[in-house]
Amino acid sequence: MTVPTATFQAFQAIGNREDLTDFIYNISPVETPFMSLAARETATNTLHEWQTDSLATANTANAAIEGDNPTNTSVVPTVRVGNYCQISQKTFQISGTQQAIRHAGRKDEMAYQLAKTSKEIKRDMEAILTQNHGSNAGGSGSARQSAGVEAWLSSNVTTLGSGGSPSSSGFQSGIVQAPVDNSTQGTLTEAAAKAIIRACWNSGGNPDTIMVGPFNKTKVSAFSGILVNNVFQNANTSKITIVAGADLYRSDFGEHKVIPNRFNRDRTALVLTMEYWAVAYLRPFMQTPLAKTGDSDQRQMLAEYTLVSRNQAASGKVTDLTTS
């Protein structure tokens, strides 16, 4: 249909107000399940240390003769371990003009960027704390690094991969070593998960959390112990629910929350006793105004922290898993 002559249309107009919604939609996930479940401690030096110990194996021959002189039992010293505090930071700079302008979706540009960068650092920390990072003492030209969960775990480990022998992990000679992955990967099985749960329990742990990436969360939900495609109908409504996922796995050694984590490696399933994990902060989240050099303001947001593995033998991992 032809538009009538001299019809004034919107695309010709000058001065129509823009239609910009006063919201900013950010889809990036901010959940940090490991950090949320781990305890919080205070560090007082860049090398945060603690001690581990264990009891002697139960002795079924522990029977003494009445009136006999006792023989001393050998005293086993504690084990001293530690991890280095890592600095994670982000810095940004806002011009005076941008700060003065009226914005859509946020009242104050500086405050908005501070909130955003703190969330980004938390995401970085979740990945650093859960993944396969060894520790590093750093130096004048290199950064200190905190070891992650994967690197700490050395006692209870099952690999489903092949194509090589992964190097050993754990605390060795003052640092935590990160193992090298196998070149091929295998499918996560219920038998492998149960074996690690049992190994953790035999070591004295009470594993309460299975933490996996998104692909292997679906593998856990397919374990044979789960009734597949259960259908429930709410008695008060017509809604029908198909249950095809698992939030809790009950083994012979207790109940274990099954938690998907976007930030740990999908190729490793972590079986954790969470009371033995903590994050120690030398400097909690803080923001510092940096020197003003012109018509702008610069801010630095940082945290200095390390992962505390109170006793890695209470937890374990299944490694070299397929991820697709």
DSSP label of 156: S
Each residue's pLDDT tens digit, 161-202:
887 666 678 999 899 999 999 889 999 999 999 999 999 999
Distance of alpha carbon 125 from alpha carbon 303, whole angstroms: 9
Domain membership flag for residue 55: no
Unique residue bearing structure tokens 């264990």 = 54
Domain membership flag for residue 73: no
10 Å CB burial of residue 175 (0-12, 13-18, 19+) is middle
pLDDT at 5: 84
Unique residue bearing structure tokens 């520790």 = 135
- The tally of CA atoms less than 13 A away on the side-chain side of residue 120 is 15
pLDDT at 231 over 60: no
Unique residue bearing structure tokens 């972590």 = 270
Domain membership flag for residue 65: no
**Percentage of the chain lying above the pLDDT 90 cut:** 74
pLDDT at 10: 80
pLDDT at 296 over 60: yes
Rg (CA), the chain: 27
Question: What's the mean pLDDT in 260-278?
Answer: 96
pTM score? 0.88
pLDDT at 237: 63
Domain membership flag for residue 14: no
Question: What's the mean pLDDT in 233-242?
Answer: 66
Distance of alpha carbon 36 from alpha carbon 71, whole angstroms: 48
Distance of alpha carbon 70 from alpha carbon 73, whole angstroms: 9
Each residue's pLDDT tens digit, 5-57:
877 778 888 787 777 777 777 777 789 999 999 999 999 999 999 999 999 99
Question: What's the mean pLDDT in 85-96?
Answer: 96
10 Å CB burial of residue 320 (0-12, 13-18, 19+) is buried
Q: Measured between alpha carbons, how far is residue 304 from residues 2, 31, 88, 286 in Å?
A: 68, 20, 6, 9
Domain membership flag for residue 219: yes
Domain membership flag for residue 66: no
The range of the structural domain enclosing residue 307 comes to 29-50+79-316
Distance of alpha carbon 207 from alpha carbon 222, whole angstroms: 20
Distance of alpha carbon 129 from alpha carbon 113, whole angstroms: 24
| Average per-residue pLDDT for the chain | 90
pLDDT at 165: 62
Domain membership flag for residue 71: no
pLDDT at 267 over 90: yes
DSSP label of 202: H
Q: Measured between alpha carbons, how far is residue 324 from residues 4, 34, 214 in Å?
A: 59, 23, 10
The closest alpha carbon to 127, from 4, 10, 265, belongs to 265
Domain membership flag for residue 36: yes
pLDDT at 230: 57
Into how many domains does the chain fold? 1
